[in-house]
Amino acid sequence: MMKLAKKMTKGIGSLLASINPKQILGMVQNRCWTGVACTPGSVRQGAAFFAMDPEDTASIEEAIEAGATAIVSTTGDWSARGVLTLWVADVSEALMRASAEFYAHPERTLSVVAVVGGHDSGIISHHTAQLLHASGVSTAMVGKKFHRIAGREIPAAPLTRQIPEYFQLFSMAQREGCRAAVIEWTWDDLDAGEALAIDADVAVLGEWSTGRTGVTPTESQIAATVRWIERSHIQTLVCPADDLFVRKLSDRLPEGISLLTYGQDCSGDVVAEKLVDHGMNCAFRLRCRLGAFRIELPLPSGSNLKPVLGATGVAVVRGAGAQTIHRALEQLETTPGYLERVSGCGPLRCFVDAARSACEIEDALKTVRVLGEKRIFLVVGSPEGQDLSERARVVQVAEKCATQVILTSDNPGRESPEAIIQQMKGAAMDPRKVWAEVDRREALYLALGQMGPEDILLVCGKGGESYQDLGSQMVPWDDRCIIREASASRILGHMPPPLFDGHGKNGSAAVSRIVAL
């Protein structure tokens, strides 16, 4: 059973020592702090609130009303309200230091592996944690979409800044007896300077091109990565061979950092050769400094092969033996939300995947295609901010590789979901093959209602996410739960009649209510 943390109270002196404020406004004597918060909704009585945007006085006022004992900011004075005001040069840096102090620096007793990537970051993190655990090191995973500690999966909060949560999770892992932790970051986190600079002797980089189209790394992106590596005191980088970003990065790395490269059919340090792809599983010859041996991987090669090699590189650096690695690789489990078959659907073959770019969606469709020549129903949308040309490519790939496409809401955020879908529909070459249903629940019910017993459902975009971003609110959401719910309704005969005839053609009258937006 997960051990619950006791409510903690600390003297304010420990906060002051951790962040070293350049100005203190208000009374310090006999003051305590009970936590760290950077959003008003997470403030509890006695917490220190870190104003990430000092101009957002409404959030600061809300935090004070919720019981904040101190406001940490770059400017402003709330001491007249009885609240201690602390000025710092960098609020993000102060937040990290205060979080580490409040949770008693759990990162100092955990061996941390940092993972940075695009679409592949979650897969690399999950496989790395599995391999370390198999080598006898109890390992927690702190991810972007979910965390796993002591065998328990915990949904990740849908926040862009989660610094206190990360240290809370490290503290939880420490209490559960974990000796290592894998922490997941994305390239966007590094670009924005939001990746925590926690001491990590090993870091794994995914492929720069993953999830990107026609993008080359800029000097500022290279510089941001170098700064993060220096601040995290990384000693070994496990990175893809022949990668454009790595080639540019290697010329800028500080002295003393060693590189271990991985890839397929290349001259790297951890290499997969003679790949035989069987669709939902594959086999290859693994070559590394421990020797060469045949691997029967129980996972699709498309989205897993290179992440598995990156994870293997970490295991090699950490001293795992050849037999341990061989055994662990042949027992790897699917990363939740990444081409994951949904359980509890009876004989129906339903999959969820986090793919959002055209190339990722195409890979997922090609992988499930090997399961048979029956129809593939694809439910897909587009998140807020996705490039218009990429939205068009998603529709074009969907039309080419799927039998029927249902466009729906993903995480529209501040964009109009109807407008997003209209943009995507405008790229369709055959409108009869592309339906639209803004309500994601209804879209999933629609797809399940049309499936035959041998058909395949692939739902792309959210994968294992536990929320949906509707702009004005974050609502609890899990595609897998809705699919199970719809499958149960289908079994009980509560689904609408199919919109297809027996030959896979649309019934135009029935479809018109769906596609008319």
Quick one: pLDDT at residue 490? Answer: 77
Quick one: pLDDT at residue 437? Answer: 95
- Maximum distance among all Cα pairs of the chain, rounded to whole angstroms: 79
Report pLDDT digits (tens) over 11-46: 999 999 999 999 999 999 889 999 999 999 889 999
User: For all residues of the chain together, what is the average pLDDT?
Assistant: 89
* Same-domain status, 504 and 357: yes
Low-confidence ranges of the chain (pLDDT < 50): 1-5, 211, 213, 500-517
CA neighbor of 98 nearest in space, from 48, 40, 29, 171? 48
Quick one: pLDDT at residue 295? Answer: 97
> Is 460 a domain residue?
yes
> Is 1 a domain residue?
no
The residues, any chain, with a CB within 8 Å of residue 459's CB and separated by 6 or more, are 350, 351, 352, 353, 378, 379, 380, 444, 447, 479, 483
* Same-domain status, 16 and 146: no
Q: Which token pair is 400? A: 């080419």
Quick one: pLDDT at residue 505? Answer: 39
* Same-domain status, 453 and 476: yes
* Same-domain status, 157 and 251: yes
CATH number of the domain enclosing 449:
3.90.190.20
The values of phi and psi at residue 193, to 5°, are 70, 25
> Is 335 a domain residue?
no
Report pLDDT digits (tens) over 115-152: 999 889 999 999 999 999 999 999 999 998 889 998 88
pTM: 0.86
235/36 Cα distance (integer angstroms): 30
* Same-domain status, 375 and 481: yes
**DSSP alpha helix (H) spans, 251-349:** 301-317, 322-329
Domain boundary among 329, 348, 367: 329
Domain boundary among 102, 137, 169: 102
How many structural domains are present in the chain? 3
Domain boundary among 69, 102, 135: 102
Tell me, what amino acid is at 139?
T
* Same-domain status, 218 and 231: yes
Its domain, for residue 168, covers 106-329
> Is 398 a domain residue?
yes
* Same-domain status, 251 and 177: yes
CATH number of the domain enclosing 90:
3.40.1390.10
> Is 5 a domain residue?
no
CATH number of the domain enclosing 113:
3.40.1190.10
> Is 445 a domain residue?
yes
